[in-house]
Structure 1
Amino acid sequence: MRLIPRDEQFFDMFAQIAQRITSSVTLLHELFSNPARLQHYEAAIKDVEHEADVLVQQVNTRIDTSFVTPLDREDIHRLATRLDNVVDLIDGTARRARMFRITETRPAALKLTEVLVRAGKTIEEQVRDIKKPKAVVECGRRIKQLEEEGDALYHAAVGELFDGTPDALDVIKWKELFDKLEEALDECEDVSNVLESIALKNS
């Protein structure tokens, strides 16, 4: 029996940050679905990004004040930071869409953000099941499949930018946006790998 109980609140905080991933990628999908409301969605994503930052700050403060943590302190910090990185990348993509004055969408952007939404929901599930290694590994397998699906979409999307006689500025803008979307998917896989490592280490 522990004289000092472990601080289990960290798991709830991880779940809250993971929820911000799903919220931000859903908003980004809506942004590309309806670019006429780009500023509205960009502002909404910024609000979610700020919420995630506050949660990460709370996690880091709690690491310093908790006597007994449920996971290694380094793992807690690493996981919170990785989760937050995804939200930061989504926020960065939305800001670029606004800076580039995007007025119309591309089907590939909708497809890539739809994959990101599925990845976000899978990360939420993976965080929720962090104490169940088999479930975490299964979610990791699905994240890997989504990353591969996104990678194929990314390569096709970039190739299509150069079809015919494209406008050079359009190519530059959309190439950077597609790069950011792929980077966010790669970061989702990195989050998943961290979750697998933590789950297996603590099983």
Structure 2
Amino acid sequence: MKLFSKDETFFDHFRQLAVYMGSASTLLRSLLENPSDAARIAVEIKKVETDGDSIVHLINQRIDTSFVTPLDREDIHVLATRLDNVIDLINGAARRVVMFRVTAPRSGGVEMADILVRASAEILASVGDVTKRAKMLDHGRIIKQLEEEGDVLYARSVGALFEHEEPAIEVLKWKEIFDALEHAIDECEDVSNVLESIALKNS
């Protein structure tokens, strides 16, 4: 019998953060499909972001109070922060759509948000497989492919802004939105890299 049991609730918290990532991504995709409804959907995304912050706060408290943790304390902190960053960036993208008074969807926006939805699903599966090295490497490969798909979409979408005589203000608005989406997709790969690193240490 172990004198101190490892606090396994960290994994539940990671899963919850990954679920929130998926919810925020799905809401963002809806928002970009229907920008006229952006203000309402952005409020829902902000609620998910606030709930995510609460989970990160719980994780940090638990790091301080748990005698034995299932993973290295620094790894727990970095993973929680990276997951939270994605949700924050999704919230930032939604905020820009509202702030810039965007009223019509644009090619590339919905597709980039869809990559975030797929990456979030892969990260949720990854969190469940964090101690299984081979499975983690498979998840990592898929997330890398999604990130590359995001880069191609980003380049195409930003390029399209300069194809025709667009009002400069529209170009500025959408360039910022596409930048925010690309940053969120890149951060998904950072989450994946942290998960792979943890898997390698703990396999």
Aligned to 2:193: 193
Please give the secondary structure, in 1, of the residue aligned with 2:19.
helix
Aligned to 1:151: 151
| Identity value in percent | 56
Q: Judge which range, 125-134 or 69-78, deviates more.
A: 125-134
Q: CA deviation at 1:2?
A: 2.1
Aligned to 2:103: 103
User: Which stretches of structure 1, 4 residues or more, deviate above 4 A after TM superposition?
Assistant: none
1:116 aligns with 2:127: no
Please give the secondary structure, in 2, of the residue aligned with 1:107.
coil
Q: Which stretches in structure 2 are left out of the alignment for 5+ residues? A: none
Aligned 1:4-153 pairs, distance under 5 A: 4-153=4-153
Q: CA deviation at 1:128?
A: 1.2
Q: Would you say the 8 A contact 2:147–2:185 is kept in 1?
A: yes
How does the TM-score come out when normalised to structure 1?
0.99
Q: CA deviation at 1:35?
A: 1.2
Looking at structure 2, the residues matched to 179 and 126 of structure 1 have their Cα atoms a distance apart, in angstroms, of 26
Looking at structure 1, the residues matched to 137 and 94 of structure 2 have their Cα atoms a distance apart, in angstroms, of 31
**Which amino acid in 1 is paired with 2:169?**
L
Please give the secondary structure, in 1, of the residue aligned with 2:108.
helix
Q: CA deviation at 1:63?
A: 0.4
How does the TM-score come out when normalised to structure 2?
0.99
Count the aligned residue pairs: 203
Looking at structure 1, the residues matched to 34 and 175 of structure 2 have their Cα atoms a distance apart, in angstroms, of 19
Query: For residues 85-129 of structure 1, what are the alpha-carbon distances to aligned partners after superposition, in whole Å with 9 as ceiling and x for unaligned?
Result: 000000001111110001001121011111111011101110111
Q: CA deviation at 1:38?
A: 0.7
